[in-house]
Amino acid sequence: MKKKMWGSSTILNVMYVPALLFFAVFIFYPFIEGIRISFTNWDGYSQQFSYVGFEKYINMLTDKNTWTTMSNTVIYGFGSTLLQNVLGLAYALFLDQQLRAKGLVRTIVYLPVIISSLIMGYIWYFFFQFDGGAINDIMALFGAQPVDWLANGPRAVGIITFVNTFQFMGVAMTIYVAGLQSIPKDYYEAASIDGANWWSQFKNITLPLLMPAITINVVLNIIGGLKLFDVIVAMTNGGPGYASSSLSTMMYNLYFARQDAGYAAALGNFMFLFIAIVSITSLILLKRKEVKI
């Protein structure tokens, strides 16, 4: 009976044809085109170009900027993932208690999530700007000289990582709150009867049972951090030079400012591979650690 009913359902597959068409035109076709363009010296607008083989890839690998950008991207990805998860979990544990007005605080912490990252970047730029920046005002109170915070590459990378964390830690917090509420309370009762202290309860009950939430958060944050774009554009535009640039902003710059479409496409393909490998590996590693309740 069942078999007969679900057997002839092939006709229903027409329902996903529109979605597939969108993917085919706006993702799959450009993706293949991107591979072709990366083997040319196309400038992005003229009709003339020639095939140059692996030249653009060799350029990419020997370009000092690629490696600065690459290490920045890794910091944006893993740095903000670490910060967001540690802070998000700490906030979730704190807000999981019986406290009045904790809903209000949760609303406030989550607010930046819904605001455009570009605007968030501008707001924090007002803190770190050299002339009349909010941080330098505080420095002046203590008689310290003003600092041009964003003029130093590594420091700018740190600041941008912080801004990204500030904006999106509300997501990690919310997912951890939901995860904490799904853990049965009698586990903790049983543990405290056995005399387990807070730390060993946290280590042996909370953390293992939060693994699904940790997986989601870590993977979401890695993907979000590795493709960081808006905040960087708003705060430093990748500068000074390429010192705070990510793969996204570097590619953007190569294409629109330097008009080296071949190089930009090669970098895009490299970024595709890199992010796919990193996020799939972390997904597999984390899934292995999950336990069933």
Partner 1 sequence: MRTLKYSILTLIGIVHLIPFYILLGMALKPTEDTSSKWIFPTNMTMDNFVNAWNQAHLSQALINNVIITGSSVVLIVLIGALASYPLSRFQTKWNQFIYLLCISCMIVPALTILVPLYSMIVDMGGINTYWAAILTQVTFQLPLTIFLFTGFISSVPRELDEAGSIDGCNKFMIFFRIILPLLKPITATVIILTGLNVWNDYQFSIFLLQKVSVQTIPVALSQFISQFQNQISWVAAGCVIGMLPVTILYLFLQKYFIRGLADGAVKG
Give the integer Cα–Cα distance in Å for 282 and 290. Answer: 13
Give the integer Cα–Cα distance in Å for 118 and 229. Answer: 9
> Is residue 175 near partner 1 by the rule CB under 8 A?
yes
> Is residue 151 near partner 1 by the rule CB under 8 A?
no
Site for partner 1 in 236-255 (CB under 8 A): 248, 251-252, 255
Torsion angle of the four alpha carbons 69, 71, 76, 82, in this order, in degrees rounded to the nearest 10: 180
> Is residue 101 near partner 1 by the rule CB under 8 A?
yes
Q: In this structure, what are the phi and psi dihedrals at residue 164, rounded to the nearest 5 degrees? A: -60, -40
**Among 69, 81, 117, 236, which residue sits at the site for partner 1 (rule: CB under 8 A)?**
117
Least spacing, CB of residue 69 vs partner 1, in Å? 14
Residue-wise DSSP of 52-120: -TTHHHHHHHH-HHHHHHHHHHHIIIIIHHHHHHHHHHHHHHHHTS--TTHHHHHHHHHHHHHS-HHHH
Answer left, alpha or beta for residue 291, where phi above 0 means left and psi between -120 and 50 means alpha: beta
Q: Which stretch binds partner 1 (CB under 8 A): 71-79, 152-160, 191-199, 219-227?
A: 219-227
> Is residue 200 near partner 1 by the rule CB under 8 A?
no
**Among 156, 179, 235, 253, which residue sits at the site for partner 1 (rule: CB under 8 A)?**
179
* Residue with Cβ nearer partner 1 (54 or 126): 126
Least spacing, CB of residue 262 vs partner 1, in Å? 9
> Is residue 83 near partner 1 by the rule CB under 8 A?
no
- Both tokens of 88, joined, read 């998000």
* Residue with Cβ nearer partner 1 (100 or 194): 100
How many chain residues interact with partner 1 (CB under 8 A)? 91
**Among 191, 205, 233, 286, which residue sits at the site for partner 1 (rule: CB under 8 A)?**
233
> Is residue 138 near partner 1 by the rule CB under 8 A?
yes
> Is residue 162 near partner 1 by the rule CB under 8 A?
no
What would you measure as the largest C-alpha separation in the chain, in angstroms? Answer: 83
> Is residue 235 near partner 1 by the rule CB under 8 A?
no
Residue 60: which of 214, 244, 254 has the closest Cα?
Answer: 254
**Among 132, 154, 184, 241, which residue sits at the site for partner 1 (rule: CB under 8 A)?**
132
> Is residue 9 near partner 1 by the rule CB under 8 A?
yes
- Both tokens of 187, joined, read 């586990």
Residue 218: which of 89, 112, 105, 71 has the closest Cα?
Answer: 89
**Among 196, 279, 286, 290, which residue sits at the site for partner 1 (rule: CB under 8 A)?**
279
> Is residue 160 near partner 1 by the rule CB under 8 A?
no
Give the integer Cα–Cα distance in Å for 282 and 155. Answer: 27
> Is residue 137 near partner 1 by the rule CB under 8 A?
yes
> Is residue 177 near partner 1 by the rule CB under 8 A?
yes
Name the 3-class secondary structure at 261.
helix
Least spacing, CB of residue 174 vs partner 1, in Å? 5
Give the integer Cα–Cα distance in Å for 250 and 236. Answer: 12
- Both tokens of 87, joined, read 């802070």
> Is residue 74 near partner 1 by the rule CB under 8 A?
no
